[in-house]
Amino acid sequence: MNCDAAIFDLDGTILDSLWVWEDISKDFLFKKGKDIPVTYIQELCSKSFQEAAEYTIRLFMLSETSQEVISEWNRLALIEYKHNIKLKKYCLPYLQYLKEEGKKLAIATSLPRILCDSCLISNGIYDMFDVIRSTDEIGRGKNFPDIFEKISDELKVPLSRTLFFDDSLSALVTGKKLGMKVVGVYDKYYASDKTEIIKVADGYIESWENVWNLL
């Protein structure tokens, strides 16, 4: 797929990290006597942190404010993102290839910057990206166009010349509507959406080892 830039999601796309949110959700909610619906993690990942906190408060009828929920999530997650979360296997060679080809690279994530930046630095890839943007900075999740339009402006590359990788169906639908070439990335937490993702996406990879088949 020919492009001048590529935008990557983090959780579940280039990072093997969604297990952290399952663990954090259990730790955070089980203490409150709450059971977690099967689709809860999927719902969180399509939202900004602020939206996710507000959704969690409504869903579980919590007494905390959204800022209190976010602060607790950040506290629980920071150690994992700083020290334990790694890139998905075979992802790094593709990122290196794109840089060598002169492509501009960007991150579009729902993570707060403290978690995003810590993890990129610990994995040694922070400097590979020309633009890094969080939905928290933008104010709306990836089911809205704002974050992608912001990244496009900063990269100075039209979205029609941009490749977008994500594991989330809602994010890929948004990207497709904006004219990007979109590639679905398998993650077990979105396995139930695989059929729909394949229908929407211009390509789909079960593993980053398969990404070369898209060239």
Same domain, 67 and 131: no
pLDDT of 155 higher than 90: yes
Decide if pLDDT at 120 tops 80. yes
Q: Tens digit of pLDDT for each residue in 61-117?
A: 999 999 999 999 999 899 999 999 999 999 999 999 999 999 999 999 999 999 999
CB 215 within 8 A of CB 208: no
Residue where a domain terminates, one of 52, 68, 84: 84
Q: How confident is the model at residue 26 (pLDDT cuts 50, 70, 90)?
A: confident
Same domain for 163 and 182? Answer: yes
pLDDT at 22: 84
Residues 41 and 65 in one domain: yes
Residues 78 and 138 in one domain: no
Q: Is the pLDDT of residue 145 over 90?
A: yes
Among 84, 111, 139, the domain-final residue is 84
Report CA-CA distances (Å) from 93 to 173, 200, 210.
Answer: 27, 26, 12
- CB distance 125 to 95 below 8 Å: yes
Same domain membership, residue 62 and residue 136: no
Q: Which pLDDT score, from 0 to 100, does residue 115 have?
A: 94
Q: How many domains does the chain have?
A: 2
Q: Report how far apart, in Å, the C-alpha atoms of 8 and of each of 68, 105, 158 are.
A: 29, 8, 16
Spell out the alpha helix ranges (H) of 31-178. 40-45, 49-60, 66-79, 91-100, 113-122, 135-138, 146-155, 169-177
Domain that holds residue 65: 18-84
167 and 80 housed in the same domain: no
Residue 120 and residue 193 in one domain: yes
Task: Report pLDDT for 4.
Answer: 98
